[in-house]
Chain A
Amino acid sequence: MPPETATLPARRLAPSTRVAITAVIALAVVAGFLLADTHGYADFVVPLRVRRLVALVLVGWAIAMSTVLFQTVTGNRILTPALMGFDALYVLVQTVVVFAFSASLLNGTDPRLQFALETLLMLVFALTLFRWLFSSGRYELHVLILVGMVFATLFRSIAAFLQRLIDPSEFQVLQNLMFASFTTVDEDLVWATAVVVAVATALVVRRLRVYDVLALGAGPATSLGVDHRRETTRVLALVAVLVSVSTALVGPITFFGLLVAHLAYQLAGTHRHAVVLPMAGLSAVICLVGGQFVLERLLEVTTTLSVVIELVGGLTFIALLIHRARRNLA
């Protein structure tokens, strides 16, 4: 087999240095986002931007972490929670709640309580679904992708059907959940999300080395003494919660997780989650905050970041599929 010259130069820098460099770039992007073009109204503009910045960082971090962990436990680097219909499931849960309890009731309750209940519901659904899907060993990749697409379509179709039955005014409440938007972010949710993401991150940090072992697959991980079933269930629960919060905040984005996870795999130069996870999180921050900055300040367009991300992420997905098909043929 030919030596892979392409990967050799990339291995020279130590993983910690790489994370540090990425962190510096992320900080620079964040600073640019906050401080550029304030036109002398910094004390008015900056606090406004901080809230949106926090939302972008949280969403990026949540999506990056959930995607990498999901790929670790499924032993597969093409599947993502979004591709498996996780966020479509969240939209469905939202719709069912509005359908069953009416939007007026929703508007009356504390959004954080509502958010907690929805996340809980999502957790139960997601765990049942993915336990069932992944419990009987490893499926062929294309079967899983198809199953995911079918589920995602099913969830969206049921949601769309229910939305047609809902009172038009109540439908309004739902509508901003259905499309990803980085410009309008619910302020109440930002801080609730921050707490959830922080707790999730703390839980993950304690088990980084366990995740390294989980990536070897069920057999080797079990042989090495990791309770594969329990750890996988925990990770899927974490993923369900993280997807819920990011979807609640900005809406569904399909390919973003795939994009940043693969950026991180390429940049990290190691398999260790202690490097890959922060790398993925930081890449996500750079993409989201940097993308928003470039679109708003440099190109002066407002709502299209999700479109750009989906385009680039979708192309990555296709490239990965083609690359894998070639490798399997070779």
Chain B
Amino acid sequence: MTVTASTDLRACVGIDRPGIRAEGVTKRYGRTVVVDDVHLDLPLGGVTALIGPNGAGKSTLLSIVGRLLAADGGRVTVAGLDVATSRSDELAKAMAVLRQENHLDIRLTVRELVTFGRYPHSKGRPTGDDLVHVEKALEYLDLTGLADRFLDQLSGGQRQRAFVAMVLCQDTDVVLLDEPLNNLDLRHAVAMMGRLRDAARELGRTIVVVVHDINVASCYADTIVAMRDGRVAACGSPAQIMQPDLLEDIYGLPVRVHEIDDQLIATYYG
């Protein structure tokens, strides 16, 4: 593939003690191959952004890593645990995962939802320590004022933040988020990415996010994994990935990359 020539794919294979390792992961729906023999190592600690066009297999790969979806082939280990064979309750202490659509038919307050994040640790009997975690997570995502509101009384963006708070409250080394910026306004999107980066830097978390905005990936991620047609097309630091040819090849439209205030910003509007 042409794009791989310009980047160092080895940056994402064969790392010592990776946080997440995918070996030959494949997923098919009928004859359509959605994830095609993906080999990928993600370092322990740091924010990794999964980018790529619609249907590139980003969400599917994330779901397989998060054991929400079974792979048809290959193996995924998270913090040394094989996600297909390890006990789910053990994995829940090492990894938290949030998918895109989160519809609930039950009536919960924000605090009740976030408290569920402590389930892997307290099995539904939250201790004082758990409640401290809950309050911290609420505060972290600017939800303290909304804590006693019901989820169905919130806007889409507020609800999204509540779910992210639950996932962070789980207090795991690995956090997988599928499009956490959905429905968020600019302020909250920036705050969310800042929080995730802080969690990665200060607490040593390994955070993987699927994002659509490549500039978010450029400004907040330590590693960018670009996918196309179910394969990893490129992988590297933002400086390595934010290349006009490479992005053009991945998204199939002309992209210019500018350096503005020390940030690499891509523009692609006609």
**Do A and B truly interact?**
yes
Given A209-B124, A212-B124, A216-B104, do A223 and B112 touch, yes or no (CB 8 Å)?
no
CB contact under 8 A between A225 and B97, given known A213-B124, A271-B112: no
- Chain A residues lying within 8 Å of B99, measured Cβ to Cβ, are 219
Partner of A224, one of B105, B106, B119: B119
Alpha-carbon gap, A326 to B167, bound state (A): 31
Contact among A71, A209, A219, A227 for B97, CB-based, below 8 A = A219
Residue of A nearest to B99 (CB): A219
Tell whether A216 pairs with B68 under 8 Å between CB atoms, given A4-B150, A227-B88, A271-B106.
no
A238 at the interface (CB under 8 A from B): no
Residues of B within 8 A of A3 (CB): 153
Check B89–A225 contact: CB distance below 8 A. Answer: yes
- Write out the residue numbers on chain B whose beta carbons fall within 8 Å of the beta carbon of A265: 107
A197: interface (CB < 8 Å): no
Contacts of B112 in A (CB 8 A): 271
Residues from chain A with a CB closer than 8 A to the CB of B155 are 1
How far, in angstroms, from A75 to B106 measured CA to CA in the complex?
8
Q: Check B116 for interface membership: any CB of A closer than 8 A.
A: yes
Give chain A residues whose Cβ lies under 8 Å from the Cβ of B102.
217, 219-220
Q: CB within 8 Å of A: which of B79-127?
A: 88-93, 95-99, 102-108, 112, 116-117, 119-120, 123-125
Asked if residues A224 and B125 are in contact (CB atoms below 8 Å), the reply is no
Asked if B123 contacts A222 (CB within 8 A), the reply is no
Residues B113-159 near A (CB distance < 8 A): 116-117, 119-120, 123-125, 150, 153-155
User: Among the listed A208, A217, A227, which residue makes an inter-chain contact with B103, where contact means beta carbons less than 8 Å apart?
Assistant: A217
Chain A minimum-CB-distance residue to B149: A3
Interface check A275, CB cutoff 8 A: no
| Cβ of B66 under 8 Å from chain A | yes
Is the C-beta of B211 less than 8 angstroms from some C-beta in chain A?
no
Would A224 and B153 count as touching, CB distance under 8 A? no
Q: Are B104 and A224 in contact (CB under 8 A)?
A: no
Chain B residue at smallest Cβ distance from A211: B124
Q: Are B116 and A213 neighbours in the complex by a CB distance under 8 Å?
A: yes
Whether A225 and B106, one on each chain, are in contact in the complex, defined by CB atoms closer than 8 angstroms, is no
Closest partner residue, chain A, to B113 (CB atom): A216
A20 to B84 CA separation, bound complex (whole angstroms): 44
Q: Are A223 and B170 in contact (CB under 8 A)?
A: yes
CB-contacts of A217-233 with B (<8 A): 217-220, 222-227
B78 CB–A CB distance under 8 Å: no
In the complex with contacts A1-B153, A223-B97, A225-B91, A217-B104 CB distance below 8 A: yes
Determine the residue in chain B with the shortest Cβ distance to A1: B153
* Neighbouring B residues of A71 by C-beta, 8 Å: 105
Q: Does A175 contact B (CB under 8 A)?
A: no
Q: Is A259 an interface residue (CB 8 A)?
A: no
Which of A77, A226, A265 counts the most chain B CB atoms within 10 A? A226
Contact B120 A225 (CB under 8 A): yes
On chain B, the residues within 8 Å of A219 by CB distance are 68, 97-99, 102
The answer to whether B106 touches A223, judged by C-beta atoms less than 8 angstroms apart, is no
Q: Which of B67, B116, B125 contacts A220 (CB 8 A)?
A: B116
The yes or no answer to B208 lying at the interface (CB within 8 A) is: no
CB pair B88–A222 under 8 Å, yes or no, is yes
Q: Which residue of A lies closest to B155 (CB)?
A: A1
The answer to whether A223 and B92 touch across the interface, beta carbons within 8 angstroms, is: yes
Interface residue ranges of B27-78 to A (CB < 8 Å): 66-68
* Contact call A225/B124, Cβ cutoff below 8 A: no
Q: A213-B119, A217-B102, A217-B104 are in contact. Are A224 and B170 (CB under 8 A)?
A: yes
Asked whether B166 is an interface residue with its Cβ less than 8 Å from the other chain, the reply is yes
**Nearest CB in chain B: distance from A15 CB, A:** 12
List A34-62 residues whose CB lies under 8 Å from chain B: none
Closest chain A residue to B175, Cβ basis: A223
Give complex CA distance A217, B97 in Å: 13
Cβ contact within 8 Å between B88 and A226:
yes
B91 touches A220 (CB 8 A): no
**B107 contacts A75, CB within 8 Å?**
no
Q: Could you list which residues of chain B lie within 8 angstroms of chain A, going by C-beta atoms?
A: 66-68, 88-93, 95-99, 102-108, 112, 116-117, 119-120, 123-125, 150, 153-155, 163, 166-167, 170
- Please report A residues at the B interface, Cβ cutoff 8 Å: 1, 3-4, 7, 71, 75-77, 208-210, 212-213, 215-220, 222-227, 265, 271
Instruction: Pick the 5 closest A-B CB pairs, nearest first.
Output: A225-B92, A209-B124, A225-B89, A219-B99, A224-B119
The 9 listed contacts between A and B (C-beta, < 8 Å) are: A209-B124, A209-B125, A212-B116, A215-B105, A216-B116, A223-B96, A225-B88, A227-B89, A271-B107
